[in-house]
Amino acid sequence: MDLNKLILKWYDKNKRDLPWRNTKNPYNIWVSEIILQQTRMEQGIYYYNRFISKFPDLKTLANSDEKEVLLLWQGLGYYSRARNLHFTAKHIFNELNSQFPETYDELIKLKGIGDYTASAISSICFEKARPVLDGNVFRIISRVFEIKNPIDLNNSRKVFKEKAYEIMPNKRFGDYNQALMDFGSIICKPVNPLCSSCVLSKVCNAFKNDSVGNYPVKSTKNQVKSMHFNYLVVKNKSQFLIEQINEGIWKNMYQFPVFISESKKNKKDVIKFFSEKFHVENLRLEPVDSEYINHKLSHINIKSKFWLFEDKMKHNRGVYVSSFKDYPMSKLMHKFIEKYKYKLGLS
């Protein structure tokens, strides 16, 4: 039997019961695919349900404030996904008369929609013959066909894409793509794949040649950079100064004023930086704790230190707040606030 028939037969018996599986509404599929990028399934389901209950359709999302979307996205990371969802919802609502594009070529023009999401939406919602290429599919294809091209190199994409087209069925394109995603998560897993009970074992070259552990091939490990973030916690009576972030992964969210550097900085450096930033002299700072709070992102390890300044800054940047609940903030900010809330006089 062909590989695609084996996969579809397996899917018909084993498909996961996910909240977006019983709809072909492109809005729901789009939201689910964006949330699931870089997210564990369990966490993805939780955020998807919350997102859909707050923004049940395109119109509601398009008419909402970006701040509300970021608030709901807190803790999920990769916040550009939330900003792009909001931007594109407004674009479809205002410029495309609320008509979700159906073809890959139209979908890929939308902000935040790349090859993977355009293929997923066009196949799942509109039955277009577009194969998806995510980590699961790269892994399955590389093992079944023993493809040695490193999956993390751009020029390998073409090889995998051609193979993905070659093995597509001639119908049920949406089911087939979802079947591959489920199969990769449940059977052909990154570590300890279930080869002995796998329906593809008879057609899988890596299994036949006992080389499963060699695939997928990666060129190098991603370089993770270390960065130092020194935050200034300005406390004035029961209020704290926070600023909106202008750029980067946390754009439009809020945080304490920060001094970012590649090398470690001492108290003198931190005082100098913030004295210049806020045009103040004799800045008196004390570390909230002698320990760092470490925070890992995909490409950066952040070592963060928080410095307390108890007074009011005379400047017109940022906003003084007594509660952070209405301001979208990163996980790192929440980690700090949670750990030191008593010390900061927060209940």
Distances 322 to 56, 128, 235, 241, 309 between C-alpha atoms, Å: 31, 52, 10, 9, 16
Kindly state whether residue 204 participates in binding ligand SF4, applying the rule CB under 6 A: yes
* Smallest gap from residue 184 Cβ to ligand SF4 (A): 8
User: Which one of residues 195, 260, 337, 346 is an interface residue with ligand SF4 (CB under 6 A)?
Assistant: 195
Token pair of 282, please? 């004799």
Kindly state whether residue 200 participates in binding ligand SF4, applying the rule CB under 6 A: yes
Q: Please name every residue paired with 259 in a beta bridge, in sequence order, or none if there are none.
A: 230
State which residue, 166 or 286, has the beta carbon closest to ligand SF4.
166
Kindly state whether residue 258 participates in binding ligand SF4, applying the rule CB under 6 A: no
Distances 61 to 85, 109, 114, 125 between C-alpha atoms, Å: 9, 20, 20, 20
Nearest to 86 by CA among 69, 73, 99: 69
Residue indicated by tokens 């972030």: 245
Residue indicated by tokens 């594009």: 101
User: Which one of residues 159, 167, 186, 212 is an interface residue with ligand SF4 (CB under 6 A)?
Assistant: 212
Distance from chain centroid for Cα 152: 18
DSSP 223: P
* Smallest gap from residue 41 Cβ to ligand SF4 (A): 18
User: Which one of residues 164, 187, 232, 271 is an interface residue with ligand SF4 (CB under 6 A)?
Assistant: 187
* Options 109-117, 171-179, 201-209, 226-234: segment touching ligand SF4 (CB under 6 A): 201-209
Give the number of residues in contact with ligand SF4, rule: CB under 6 A. 15
* Options 198-206, 224-232, 245-253, 304-312: segment touching ligand SF4 (CB under 6 A): 198-206
The amino acid sitting at 184 is: G
Does residue 33 have an active-site annotation?
yes
Nearest to 106 by CA among 87, 132, 128, 80: 128
d(CA 56, CA 27): 9
Token pair of 36, please? 């699931």
**Residues 103 to 162: which contact ligand SF4 by CB under 6 A?**
140, 143-144
The amino acid sitting at 31 is: V
* Options 129-137, 160-168, 192-200, 283-291: segment touching ligand SF4 (CB under 6 A): 192-200
* Options 63-71, 102-110, 197-205, 297-305: segment touching ligand SF4 (CB under 6 A): 197-205
Kindly state whether residue 163 participates in binding ligand SF4, applying the rule CB under 6 A: no
Q: Contact residues for ligand SF4 (CB under 6 A)?
A: 140, 143-144, 187-188, 193-195, 198, 200-201, 204, 206-207, 212
The residues that are catalytic are 33
